Chains A and B, each alone.
Chain A
Amino acid sequence: MRAVLAILRREVQACFVSPVAYVFMVAFLGIMAYGFNVGLQFYARMPPLLAEQSEASLRTHVIGGPRGIIGWAQTAILLSLPGLSMRLFSEERRSGTIELLLTSPLTPAQLVAGKFLGALAVFACILVLTLPLVGVVAWKGDPEWGPTGTAYAGIFLFGAVVLAMGVFASALTESQFVALVVTYTILTPLLAIRFLVGMLGNPWDDILMGLSLRHALRQFGVGLVDTHYLVLFGTLMGGFLFLTARVLDSRRWS
């Protein structure tokens, strides 16, 4: 456990001294702030009658609604998290420090856990920095805290899945760029799946909908925590982390 914490801590420190990491963090926060502003204007201009018909409060929509920051968070996650995770193992392989890690008394699972939790901690820090946006909503209005909370939980879980894929991709190669490309290659089908819904009819539509990460995130945004999607997120995360440990264990280093 101490070893896992040591790796986690080192990962977070390495991230905060790396200029590349700051670029991705700033990009994330920039997208979120811009999206918040766009959403705010959209909902502010909405005719009062339409607003009344809407089930959830409009102020909550600014966070988790169809035009809320949750949609922008998805974009921000897709653009910045693969950039944060690509470094994790590929940099260790390039610099040779992987030899230190793999000759230390650590199981592959401990190593992967340390790296993944480190990246997740950095992501959590970034999310904390977006909380002032929620603060603005709370200050000027009266958001429903339930859906706001599930929206953030959804963003966090979605980010964790993307990071797990990124950890896996970075264990495959010593090139950060290749790791980045592999991450997007894995992600794209799971996001694009939604566009197929409605083309094949049932039961395919239900199955595809059930696998769509975009749809899952939308559900969280409106306060629906579907165990089905929790299982989807959990399976993807666990699956990719398991594969990462297998890759490290097979140790085909030259």
Chain B
Amino acid sequence: MGSRAARRARVFVVEADRLTKLYGSRVAVSEVTFRVGKGEILGFLGPNGAGKTTTMRMITGFLPPTSGTARVAGYDIRSEPLEAKARIGYLCESPPVYREMTVRSYLRFVADIKRVARARRDGLVDRAVELCGLDGVAHRVVGHLSKGYRQRVGLAQAIVHEPDVLILDEPTAGLDPRQVVDIRQTIRGFAGEQTVILSTHILPEVTVTCSRAVIIHAGRVVAEDTIENLTAGVGRMETVRIRVAREDGGLEARLLGVSGVRHVSRDGPGSYAVRGEGGDGLREQLAAAVLSSGAGLVELVRERATLEDVFLELVTEEEAAA
């Protein structure tokens, strides 16, 4: 049994087991269960207020769950909190920095309270400084840095003790587009060796950085799969973009007449977005409809389903069921 437990711990770095949090009678998070394997970057996706932060806080031991638990590298956060916490690197929504300290002294402080052996401390601080691109500012006071750099300092404190898992809560919130790209690149740089849970409400962030996603809505997990499978799952409904050479007033009505079409919108001169289901057959009929109208088909493209579609579909299904 012991070796089996050890093997499980090696395979899954984080296991959230029916995590539930109630605030009074309000359910913030309900029975959230998922697992993260070693080296995986998991996207934890959901709209604001879905329970992402609450879930992250329960895994990191900041908030006690009402029921359920989480295990980090095999250590239960409720019964062995110190062992579990020592293996987590956590960047909360706003970077937990002391503004009056210099970057380097702050990272040394974090290394000390995260139980890094003294002999390894300075080396690990240097490594974190380098990985997060802080070389130029290591001797500056944190409070004087730009928001983007402060976020990097937050990231550096999360990785300084070489944690088994890195938990990042909305790491790009409030940054300008350039800083967002920088931070995402840094996170992607961890891929392969570092296990990461990335919580976000920004869909492209997940597509760009993660291999797998858990989608949470109103405190419940509504989907969990690889990005490819998630986007393939919405194959039933698709958006087809049609461009024609000549416009005549009747085209929109003709397109709507094709069986399987649910919605047609005209987004510009000669350009239509058709939403419907039916796969290849639908597109064949759409092409025939345009050709027979004499409008002159210039382009017909199926748009690949994005996570946005997945998300909207899952969330609306969920709301319809409720």
Contacts and interface: CB of A to CB of B under 8 A. Distances in A.
A3 B112 contact: yes
B60 interface: yes
A5 B113 CA distance: 9
Contacts of B85: 103-105
A99 B112 contact: no
A106 interface: yes
A10 B114 contact: no
Contacts of A14: 98, 100-101
A102 B112 contact: no
A251 B157 CA distance: 22
Contact of B96 (A3, A9, A97, A253): A97
B245 interface: no
A3 B86 CA distance: 12
A103 B115 contact: no
B98 A101 contact: no
Interface stretch (B43-51, B87-95, B259-267, B272-280): B87-95
Contacts of B60: 103
A6 B61 contact: no
Contacts of B98: 10, 14, 95, 97
Interface in B228-281: none
A105 B64 contact: no
Q: In which size bucket is the chain B interface? A: 20 to 34
Interface string B73-114: 000000001110110101011101111110001000110111
B118 interface: yes
Contact of A104 (B94, B100, B114): B114
Nearest to B106: A10
A49 interface: no
Interface residues of A, number: 26
Contact of A3 (B64, B81, B105, B113): B113
A100 B82 CA distance: 14
A253 B61 CA distance: 12
A106 B97 CA distance: 18
B92 A96 contact: yes
Contacts, number: 74
Interface string A5-48: 11101100110011000000000000000000000000000000
Most chain A Cβ neighbours within 10 Å, of B97, B101, B110, B114: B114
A140 interface: no
Given A103-B85, A104-B85, A251 B62 contact: yes
A66 to B, nearest CB: 42
Contact of B101 (A3, A13, A101, A105): A13
Given A10-B98, A96-B92, A251 B113 contact: no
A101 B110 CA distance: 9
Contacts of A106: 82, 113
A104 to B, nearest CB: 5
Nearest to A103: B60
A17 B98 CA distance: 12
Contacts of B105: 13
Contacts of A96: 92-94, 96
Given A13-B101, A97-B97, A103 B62 contact: yes
B22 interface: no
B301 interface: no
A105 B86 contact: yes
A106 B82 CA distance: 7
Contact of A18 (B57, B64, B100, B110): B100
Contacts of B63: 251, 253
A104 B113 contact: yes
Given A10-B109, A105-B85, A253-B63, A100 B96 contact: yes
Nearest to A102: B62
A8 to B, nearest CB: 11
A7 B109 CA distance: 8
A12 B109 CA distance: 13
A105 B83 CA distance: 7
Interface string A83-104: 0000000000001111111111
Contacts of B109: 6, 9-10
A105 B82 contact: yes
Interface string A171-207: 0000000000000000000000000000000000000
Contacts of B57: 99
A101 B113 contact: yes
Contacts of B101: 10, 13-14
B112 A6 contact: yes
Contacts of A9: 109
**Nearest 9 Cβ contacts at the A-B interface:** A6-B112, A100-B96, A105-B86, A103-B60, A105-B85, A105-B82, A97-B96, A104-B113, A99-B92
27 contacts: A2-B115, A3-B112, A5-B112, A6-B112, A9-B109, A14-B101, A18-B100, A95-B98, A95-B99, A97-B96, A99-B62, A100-B92, A100-B110, A101-B113, A103-B60, A103-B85, A103-B88, A103-B92, A104-B110, A105-B83, A105-B113, A105-B114, A106-B82, A251-B62, A251-B63, A253-B62, A253-B63
Interface of A: 2-3, 5-7, 9-10, 13-14, 17-18, 95-107, 251, 253
